[in-house]
Chain A
Amino acid sequence: MSEVVEKVVVPDNAVTANEESKTEAGKCVSWVQSSLKTLIFIAIIVASISSRLFAVIRFESIIHEFDPWFNYRATQYLVNNSFKDFLNWFDERTWYPLGRVTGGTLYPGLMTTSAFIWHALRKIGLPVDIRNICVLFAPAFSAVTAYATYKLTCELKDQKAGLLAAAFIGIVPGYISRSVAGSYDNEAIAITLLMATFMFWIKGLKQGSILNSSFAALCYFYMVSAWGGYVFITNLIPFHVFCLILMGRYTAKIYVAYNTWFVIGTIASMQIPFVGFLPIKSNDHMAALGVFGLLQIVALGDFIKAKISEKKFKVIMWVSVILIMAIGVAGLFALTYLGLIAPWTGRFYSLWDTNYARIHIPIIASVSEHQPITWPAFFLDTHFLIWLFPAAVFLMFMDLKDEHVFIIVYSVLCSYFAGVMVRLMLTLTPVICISGAVALSKLFDIYLDFSPIFSTKSTGTKKSSFMTVLTRGLVSASFVYYLYLFVHHCTWVTQSAYSSPSVVLPSQNRDGSMAIIDDYREAYYWLRMNTDYDAKIASWWDYGYQIGGMADRTTLVDNNTWNNTHIAIVGKAMASPEDVSYELLKEHDVDYVLIIFGGVLGFGGDDINKFLWMIRIAEGIWPEEVKERDFFVNQGEFRVDSQASETMKKSLMYKMSYNGFPELFPDGQGQDRVRQQTITADDVENLDYFDEVFSSENWLVRIYKLKDVDVEGRDLSDVAEFEAAKNSKRSSNKRPQIELRV
């Protein structure tokens, strides 16, 4: 930890060294400077990588969460097959019975990069397991991000600010949250590319350089291949150019930089199969196209202005502006009306009209990443940088060069987006770090300069120079202390909030020692070992990727939520009475149903808590058969105990969750630890169509098998009734008593 602190503070010592070098011009000083810089960079890289390794050290080298499991599976496929096979990959083991054109519907950047690293390492004689490459991918790229951020900030102010920014981005929790070891997701590489693209863009813009703009376009292409969030760049850069034009800052440099970036970037991005013709069709990309056109007009206007008198130019300008606007608006409407260009995507709408998603697309609204963000989350992710941020933006206004306009535009837009959608906090964090670093380094420029005490020529008396140094010392000390606190904050947040693989849950035993709840992997491994290779598993979509990755079984729906109806089928099956569900699941060849139940453990993210979304999504397709209102009791409450609504108790999800649950408790009064309600044996009806085949150690994962169709052609509920009548006493639950963990 102390190493990290040192690293944050050291750049400021370099500052003083930097000033002196001008006067003395000694080679020695500049040598010390560059070696210090290298040292600082090594420290930053070590800090940013090591703080991301908590998860590996605490648990093990494992892929985290949900989406990374798919990326991992795809990477494995790519490593075992050729690149061509990968692009043409049709996966029949997901979205049964539809299958998924995986090769054409993924962003291949991440997988190709890790496959490239894997091959490269093998070439130099280091055969590393592909899993370890995937796990350590994000930490490694965070170091690259730090460098790109350094370069970008250098363009804004100087190297001092650059080093600070690199240190900030290295350890800031807002970025660590998506880039810890094991979080093998698109964002891991995307933020690196985001910073690199912006860095090259600013360079290209400042110098009007075709080379740098081409690099920006290439980075943009790489970004498009890696993350759907590339649309952010597609809109931000045109918006920046637009603002510059409005401010009357048009120059040939802007013309060169933007045209180079736009033309190369757009054509390159269309080579990605999943993107295809979107850049010229979808309205998300229209801003870039529009600014491209505008720039040509402005350039033409600039040219005409130089040739003719001002009076004539004004007339020409007004006529052409009105003409262009009319044609443009009419054209846009006409093309949208004719269906030649796609309307804005749902995710895009939900950013502007904040109620849109909730009303029209429950599948988007249901994702926790798409929720608005509360203030503590901002503070948690950026600590004191969050209040430095507005001040820093104001300081940008004081300088207000072209590159500062970029940071301002980025800050304003992104702070809105992050406020609407938690997930976009990730794109806001870099700009907070950059502007925070710029502001802080401005402060240190003024106050970390203790030269008055050494200079004898100073105009004031000895006393006044002492006072000056004292103030400077005070201010610097307080901010260095904030930096120190920042490091501690980041480390604490990283290790306590962002280092859980969420496949393995950390918990505490009664004596306070750490216990690991490994129910997921237990269950997935059970599936892998005990079921047929072609068995179809129905579960809520959240677990689709994990089942595919860990259990290697066919799933109905997964986290690639491309088919709302198919998801609604599972939702309906969960929300309907047993006989309806059985029919529906049999139609889809399902063999097993997997649910997550947190009532025993007190795990809040279980299926009963997600149940409302299943109902809503199903109701969107079958409003007649599934009604959200029926699941509430009269007071509009969502209950699971004896007061639960009849529909609720009859639903498959309820029965499966609480099957045998009350019997687990000595007095038959089941205490649901998540919802704090009591469930008795009378509340839970018997399952007639399903057999419980597996419940994990803490009952977190429960797997049910669909009973075979009765050989005598009877309805399964009749069979159960008949059997019950035959051996009238109920078979007691033979489950062994298990110790419940706190």
Chain B
Amino acid sequence: MLLDRFVSVCISALLLATTALAATREELAIKAQKSSNGIIELDDYSFKDTLEGPRDFYLIALLTCTEPGVGCTACFEFNPVFETIASSWIHDHPEGISLEDPSKALYFAKADLSDASAVPEIFKFYNIERVPRLMFFTPGGDINDYHLLNLPQQKANAGASEFIANLKIAVGINDYQVYEPRDWSTVIITAFSTFVIIYLLRKHSKIVTAVISSKYVWGVLCCAFITLMSGGYMYNKMRGTPLAGTDNNGGVVYFWPNEFQNQYGIESQIVSVLYGALSILFLALVLGIPNLSSFYKGSASGTMIVTVICAVLVVVIYVLFAGLTSLFGIKSARYPFELIKLSSLMS
């Protein structure tokens, strides 16, 4: 009896010892299933257990920092991607074990520095100075046996697919598919707006037809579109350019100097606004002024007002055009023309 108990204690002690040494697939699977997206949380108490070798599975650990004060854009961008990657795996493999090849298992873990006052132990353990870090633990290694992975170059779901494609090769598994998380908010918004539109259509069909068949509405829409396009909007959209840049002293740069093939996002916004303003002023000259003068026809003060407005319009157009030209001068340093010599104004 005593012996029996002794043996059982011994066995459980042994078991404990082995679990202290290395985490098993079952434990990790339980932990992974506990979290909503299949990512194991690496807290101060358990991270050594999770990462300690010798292991018989692959493990990818993300060390990231979502504390807003730190302002790590890459972390914010990669976080949902990582969640997609992990949940896609757990979705098909609740145990974390490949169905095709049961010898291969894969788990995801994460440690997040979400509170600057309490840096997680694991950051100290690995002397992390830069986030995000993606650590790849392969079977057989111990806690210090890992290599760093590059973040996918593309963003959002494209990034997840890219990463998974690479991961499939690295781990040697094939049954790994991307499950894009369904974004219910867009569904709801679409449903709601469809409802509103149909409601408006039925209720105020006269107004709606008047708006749809109004040439002014179409005119403004078309002109806005053209202005947007000629401001280089498509370039920003296709290249994903940053909104603005910084110079060597950390100041904000709005216009990328001397770069003809590159632009910041804010450049097209500024330029589009300039184009729009110039167009509107021009239209005021062509459409507005004749109407105004026929309104004031015959009165002397009216002629005066028209003259003044005209002069103001001309001057504002000149100034805006001068501004546009000097902006172009920033992009192309050799450009020889300027409408206003800024230096001569200063002196």
Q: Is the CB of A418 within 8 A of B317?
A: no
Beta-carbon contacts under 8 Å, B175-229 to A: 215-216, 218-220, 222-227, 229
Mask of B11-29 contacts with A, CB within 8 angstroms, 1/0: 0000000000000000000
Chain A residue nearest to B309 (CB atoms) is A471
The reply on A489 being an interface residue by CB < 8 A is yes
Residues A389 and B230 in contact in the complex (CB < 8 Å), given A408-B222, A439-B286: yes
A375-B230 in contact given A387-B324, A475-B314 (Cβ < 8 Å): yes
Complex alpha-carbon distance, A611 and B193, angstroms: 48
Q: A390 interface residue, CB < 8 Å from B? A: yes
The verdict on A376 contacting B332 (CB below 8 Å), with A443-B282, A464-B300 known, is: yes
- Fill in one digit per residue for B216-256: 1 if any A CB lies within 8 Å of its CB, else 0: 10111011111101111111011100000000000000000
The interface residues of chain A lying within 8 Å CB-to-CB of B143 are none
Instruction: Tell whether, in the assembled complex, residue A636 and residue B150 are in contact, meaning their CB atoms are under 8 Å apart.
Output: yes
* Chain B 72-103 per-residue mask, 1 if CB under 8 angstroms from chain A, else 0: 00000000000000000000000000000000
B279 touches A419 (CB 8 A): no
The answer to whether B124 has its CB under 8 Å from any CB of chain A is no
User: Known contacts A375-B231, A482-B321; is A460 also within 8 Å of B298 by CB?
Assistant: yes
**When the two chains form their complex, are residues B219 and A374 in contact, meaning their CB atoms are under 8 A apart?**
no
Decide: A397 and B314 in contact? CB cutoff 8 A.
Answer: no
Q: Is A474 an interface residue (CB 8 A)?
A: yes
> Which of B223, B238, B283, B321 is the one whose CB lies under 8 Å from A384?
B321
Cα A470 to Cα B311 in complex, Å, equals 10
Tell me the residues in window 303-318 of chain B with beta carbons closer than 8 Å to chain A beta carbons: 303-304, 306-307, 310-311, 313-314, 317-318
Chain B nearest CB from A87 CB (Å) reads 39
Stretch at the interface among A409-417, A612-620, A639-647, A723-731: A409-417
What residue of chain B has the Cβ atom nearest to residue A408's Cβ? B222
> CA of A466 to CA of B262 in the docked complex: distance in angstroms?
50
Contact of B222 among A373, A377, A412, A485 (CB under 8 A): A412
Give B292-304 as 1s and 0s: 1 = Cβ < 8 Å from A's Cβ atoms: 0100011010011
Closest beta carbon of chain B to A37's beta carbon, Å: 25
B62 within 8 A of A: no
B6 at the interface (CB under 8 A from A): no
Residues of A within 8 Å of B328, CB to CB, are: 376, 379-380
Contacts of A475 in B (CB 8 A): 285, 310, 313-314
- B219, A376: Cβ atoms closer than 8 Å: no
Chain B min CB distance to A465 (Å):
8
> Does the CB pair A474–B232 fall under 8 Å?
no
B48 within 8 A of A: no
One digit per residue, 1 when the CB lies within 8 angstroms of any chain A CB and 0 when it does not, for chain B 326-337 equals 001001101111
In the bound complex, residues from chain B placing their C-beta under 8 Å from that of A355 are 238
A482 CA to B286 CA, complexed, in Å = 16
B66 within 8 A of A: no
**Chain A interface mostly helix, strand, loop or mixed?**
helix
| Contact assessment for A467 and B263 in the assembled complex, using a CB-CB cutoff below 8 Å | no
Which one of A375, A376, A394 lies within 8 Å of B283 (CB-CB)? Answer: A394
Contact B303 A460 (CB under 8 A): yes
Main secondary structure of the interface of B (DSSP, over half): helix
Query: Given contacts A459-B298, A636-B150, are A386 and B219 in contact (CB under 8 A)?
Result: no
Report whether B234 and A354 are in contact in the complex, using a CB–CB cutoff of 8 Å: yes
Q: Say whether B140 faces chain A, with CB atoms less than 8 Å apart.
A: no
Q: How far is the CA of A446 from the CA of B294 in the complex (A)?
A: 13
23 contacts between A and B (CB under 8 A): A354-B237, A354-B238, A355-B238, A375-B232, A378-B230, A380-B260, A387-B282, A390-B224, A391-B279, A395-B286, A398-B287, A408-B222, A411-B222, A412-B222, A415-B230, A418-B229, A419-B230, A446-B290, A459-B297, A460-B303, A471-B306, A474-B310, A478-B318
B286 touches A442 (CB 8 A): yes
Chain B nearest CB, measured from A172 CB (Å) = 14
| Residue among B225, B238, B289, B314 making CB contact with A412, cutoff 8 Å | B225
Contact A464/B321 with A354-B238, A376-B332 known, Cβ cut-off 8 Å = no
A49 close to chain B: CB less than 8 A: no
- In the complex, what residue of chain B is closest to A443 when comparing beta carbons? B286
Instruction: Decide: A376 near B227, CB < 8 A? Known: A387-B274, A390-B276, A391-B279.
Output: no
From B237, B263, B334, A374 is in contact (CB under 8 Å) with: B263
For residue B278, CB closer than 8 A to chain A, the reply is yes
Q: Which residue of B lies closest to A477 (CB)?
A: B314
In the complex, are the beta carbons of B278 and A387 less than 8 A apart? yes
Q: Which of B263-294 contact A (CB under 8 A)?
A: 263, 267-268, 271, 274-276, 278-280, 282-283, 285-287, 289-290, 293
